[in-house]
Amino acid sequence: MPLKIAINGFGRIGRAAFKIILDNNYNVEIAAINDLTDNETLAHLLKYDTVYGVYDKKVKATAKGISAAGKEYKILAERNPGNLPWKTMGIDVVLECTGFFTKKEDAGKHIAAGAKKVIISAPSKSDDIGTYVLGVNAEKISKNEKIISNASCTTNSIAPVMKVLEAHFGIQKALMTTIHSYTADQNLVDGPHKDLRRARAAAQNIVPTTTGAAKAAAKTIPSLKDKFDGIAVRVPTPAGSLSDITALLRKNTAVENINKVFLDAAKKKELKNILAAAYDPIVSSDVIKNPYSTIVDLSMTKVVDGNLVKIIAWYDNEWGYASRLVELAIKFGK
């Protein structure tokens, strides 16, 4: 029997997850999509994408939803997750991709509606919801957990890197900056926003702002608690980001040693298709639609005085993250 998945919120991550499921030979059935937008608009946005281009599968709107690659997918338009027909539909896992239902009591409405499990595609605002990153701590998911968080795209980028550094060299403390493509949370033109920097035109400015990615990474690697923090700098690109990590290690090392450790880590089963490492002099457009969580840029590795290191790691903040979201759903739903 295929795993029955429902997607709540058909935005950037929801649509990417949909395509990833269709494009791969997963034993997964997308049973329903819930979004308040009309079917015509959702079909158009699925077919035409500024970042990823025109979808190679035939897409059209139908009376009940959308048709993609010759199969119809039901679209619901329910504002309250508690009213969704998940029990009747036999939903195994809900991908909670709206960005709104990140608290346990809100995501829990899917469970009340009959879904067996829920994955929040964002950091959770509830401390009693587990945060899991594939390749880092996903093996620790308990059978008793019904709601988990897949953290953020940036946490998925930095946590595997930090795990490798911690395992081989030990980390005294670290800081990170994500040079991050703009998102829908920013304004297209100057206008009101609770974050006065995000209030400014996203495509015209370099925008320093906050991120909880480092602290969320510490939830997946407990030894980093209170030792890892960071900021975000939003830049005028629609997708493709990089994490700039500076860490003070417990052991002295050299650039060549660090790079070898990452090359070796990329070959190991636990980080297969999650962490990559390469010397190629790439730029952000080169990681568009790359399914890895993180691509360590070995040519940028720096070491000062033996134990102060800098690591640069690229990631597609949409496609890479959505790839892990789908894989985590499959693991979680078993």
Same fold? 3-129, 153-317: no
Q: Is 316 annotated as a binding residue?
A: no
For residue 266, what is the enclosing H or E element? helix 255-267
Q: Is 154 annotated as a binding residue?
A: yes
Q: Is 121 annotated as a binding residue?
A: yes
Question: How confident is the model over 168-188, as a mean pLDDT?
Answer: 98
Alpha-helical runs (H) found in 55-115:
86-89, 104-112
What pLDDT, on the 0 to 100 scale, is given for residue 334?
Answer: 86
* Distance between CA atoms of residues 230 and 153, nearest Å: 14
Q: Is 285 annotated as a binding residue?
A: no
Tokens of 276: 């990559």
Verify whether residue 97 is a known catalytic residue: no
Residue pair 33/7 in contact by the 8 Å Cβ criterion: yes
Percentage helix, strand, coil for the chain under 3-state DSSP, each rounded to 5: 30, 30, 40
Q: How far is CA 150 from the centre of its chain?
A: 7
Q: What is the pLDDT of residues 78-88, one digit of tens each?
A: 999 999 999 99
Ramachandran angles phi, psi of 17, nearest 5°: -60, -40
Query: Which pTM value belongs to this model?
Result: 0.96
Q: What is the mean pLDDT of the chain?
A: 98
Statement: residue 25 has pLDDT above 90: no
* Distance between CA atoms of residues 115 and 16, nearest Å: 22
Ramachandran angles phi, psi of 267, nearest 5°: -90, -10
- What is the SS3 assignment for 231? strand
Statement: residue 48 has pLDDT above 90: yes
Q: What is the pLDDT of residues 87-134, one digit of tens each?
A: 999 999 999 999 999 999 999 999 999 999 999 999 998 999 999 999
Statement: residue 13 has pLDDT above 90: yes
Residue pair 280/264 in contact by the 8 Å Cβ criterion: no
When pLDDT is cut at 50, 70 and 90, the band that residue 189 belongs to is: very high
Q: Which CATH number fits domain 3-129: 3.40.50.720, 3.40.630.30, 3.40.50.261, 3.40.50.360?
A: 3.40.50.720
Q: What is the pLDDT of residues 221-261, one digit of tens each?
A: 999 999 999 999 999 999 999 999 999 999 999 999 999 99
Residues β-bridged to residue 308: 248, 304
Q: Is 243 annotated as a binding residue?
A: no
Catalytic residue among 153, 265, 298, 325: 153
Q: Is 206 annotated as a binding residue?
A: no
Q: Where are the domains of the chain?
A: 3-129, 153-317
Query: Does the domain spanning 153-317 belong to CATH 3.30.360.10?
Result: yes
Residue pair 167/143 in contact by the 8 Å Cβ criterion: no
Tokens of 49: 């994408």
Question: Strands 93-96, 71-76: parallel, antiparallel or unpaired by DSSP?
Answer: unpaired
Q: Is 97 annotated as a binding residue?
A: no
Residue pair 238/182 in contact by the 8 Å Cβ criterion: yes
* Distance between CA atoms of residues 265 and 246, nearest Å: 19
